[in-house]
Structure 1
Amino acid sequence: MSKYFKDFLNEQLKDEEFRKEYESLEAEFQIIKEIIEARKDKNITQKELSDLTGITQGDISKIENGNANPSLKTLKKLAAAFGKKLVISFE
């Protein structure tokens, strides 16, 4: 994350309404981040992940771009493809 973006974000987070909306999206951002990082750690493309999971490359792209909410079933497929265990918790 660039310093310019961090400074901009910190300035925006001073606005309570913006901060609440940003925080409400934290879980979605975390899921996206975890999927992208796991795919990059495994050094595979979206197409290769698609081949491993049976999830279309287009759907993987939508998930990674925040334009789709993956189901629990989809998250389990992704976790299995990464050789990981899906863990969900309430904190």
Structure 2
Amino acid sequence: MDKFFLGNAWELLEEVSNDEDKKEYGLYDIFYYISTKIFDYRLEKGLSQKQLAEILGITQAMVSKLESGEYNPTVEQLWKVSRKLGWSMKVLLEDSESKATHLWDNVEIQELSEGSKLFTELGLIGA
């Protein structure tokens, strides 16, 4: 049997995707961030989905959908979740052609003036 090399999935997506698809991947990244943030919180606190549901005032099924990314919560719902879990919520909307913004890992670095930088955690829900 011949062996074959399976290339980098991200490179393949880049090759076969059009601009609209690429924009949609950005939306999926947001859903992924939200779901992993909630999932990680639950695990760090040693909570079951049912216990987290009680804290949030929602059903266990809804916690499951939030953690799996199956549910797309509204901004208001995210705000309520963040308040109940003791998080601050930040929404960053800016021009996509902002020349002074660089992305590095999960940190946004904005150059405010020469030699001065502001580090802000990326994401819809801040820790």
TM-score (norm 1): 0.71
Q: Conserved in 2, the CA contact under 8 Å of 1:63 and 1:69?
A: yes
The structure with the largest alpha-carbon Rg is: 2
What stretches of structure 1 of length at least 5 have no aligned partner?
1-5
- Written as runs of structure 1 = structure 2, the 5 A alignment for 1:12-91 is 12-17=13-18, 18-91=21-94
Structure 2: distance between partners of 1:33 and 1:10: 24
Aligned pairs, how many?
86
Relative distance call for 1:24 and 1:69 in structure 2 (3 A) is closer
Structure 1: distance between partners of 2:24 and 2:76: 27
Ranked by relative contact order (alpha carbons within 8 Å, sequence separation 6 or more), the top structure is: 1
The offset of 1:61, in angstroms, is 0.8
Relative distance call for 1:21 and 1:85 in structure 2 (3 A) is closer
The offset of 1:31, in angstroms, is 1.5
**Alignment RMSD (CA, Å):** 2.3
**% identity of equivalent residues:** 28
What stretches of structure 2 of length at least 5 have no aligned partner?
1-6, 95-127
38-47 vs 6-15, which moves further: 6-15
Tell me what 1:3 maps to: none
SS at 1:25 equivalent: helix
Relative distance call for 1:23 and 1:15 in structure 2 (3 A) is farther
Letter in structure 1 aligned against 2:13: Q
Structure 1: distance between partners of 2:78 and 2:27: 20
31-40 vs 16-25, which moves further: 16-25
